[in-house]
Amino acid sequence: MSLLLSGGFVYQEGQFSRCDVAIDGQRIALISPNISSISFDHVLQFNDCFIIPGLLDVHVHLRQPGFSYKETVATGTLAAARGGYTAVCAMPNLDPCPDSPEHLALEQQIIDNDAIIDVYPYACITHGQRGKELVDIETLAPRVIGFSDDGRGVQDIGLMREAMNRVAASGSIIAAHCEDETLLNGGYIHDGDYARKHWHTGIPSASEYKQLERDLELVRDTKCRYHVCHVSTKESVGLIRAAKQDGLPVSCETAPHYLLLCDSDLRDEGRFKMNPPLRSEADRDALVQGLTDGTVDMIATDHAPHSAAEKNRGLKDSVFGITGLETAFRILHTRLVSAGVITIQQLVEKMSVVPREIFNIGGGIEVGQRADMCVIDPDITSTIDSAAFYSMGKATPFDGMYTLGDIAATISGGKVVWQNSTTQN
């Protein structure tokens, strides 16, 4: 099948230029102004839209196998496509979790059968994510995007050192959930003004940055490629900035909610509860600064769907986690790009280009490349409505938010896997 995307501004090497994109089968066949539409099976007109490499989210929970009442690979990847993603990296807190080739094969079979975009699974760092015994890193490394015990920090320093040595030798990467459990004190939101005013038990910022500080010293010794998940504190930003200045192989992500919200935005509702929690205004500002100066490499959603019953018990008793795949681009475009904080090119870099580079996932709008891209219509206005989500998880602190700019279409392997009915063709 041949497909022509006509009338848009195409992103190549950090710049946009008005071009058409011709797709033949799964590959990009031609990029040029004013390509004749006569010989194509399908033509999509995207006048004045932006055509960019498909977004990549390196931190997504698809919940299968084991928790299909929360999400499935089918619903999660459809939600991702709606959000402009052509690839996601799937976190390993599953049942069974991918801590052996057999368990990984079960997850991979579901992905192969049900995913409508590319899904790259992580393997666990430790068996059962229990922090006691390392998985067979050498056997699993060629089959996964990296290693993570996301949801839990590896508490044993000796075990983490051994993991880094073996992951470094394998050429893979560790994606670390940094959390010192001795500092949690039963907390469930940030230990800040809101928690004190409303008599909630707080999680101190030190629970994140103290374990990060420990791990960065291990990286210095082992030279392991090390990626920090969902950075939320100003101290973490400072530590990562210094580590990069020292030349350590360190990267990090933050999530849209940490860039746009802080603990003063909290309500006593489960849709505002995630781990790490929304921090202070100073933390949020440090993350935005880190985003603009290059300390924060990328934006990932930490899409963590749960059932309504698990999320309707307020801040104290709801489980941690919110959804993000269907809202990330449009809220960031509205609050950061349209507000002049960053450019559209910078947002594309943080959500597509840089994560692909760091995690060694190819892509880009070039002749011969696989046709994985999304189309952005900067003029679509909408209001976030969680009831309309494709994801089974409906918990988002952005419900009801007005947005400017949205995904017009998502193309994966030359196939249109989602198209916005708002955009006329």
CB 301 within 8 A of CB 229: no
Distances (CA, A) of 137 to 101, 127, 170, 221: 10, 11, 8, 19
C-alpha span between 253 and 261 (Å, rounded) = 16
Which candidate in 283, 297, 302, 377 is catalytic? 302
CB 100 within 8 A of CB 60: no
Known catalytic membership, residue 406: no
Distances (CA, A) of 206 to 200, 212, 278: 18, 9, 14
CB 231 within 8 A of CB 239: no
Among 145, 178, 215, smallest CA distance to 355 is for 145
CB atoms inside a 10 Å sphere around CB 313: 13
C-alpha span between 203 and 122 (Å, rounded) = 27
Angle made by CA atoms 131, 137, 143, in degrees to the nearest 5: 120
Catalytic residues: 302
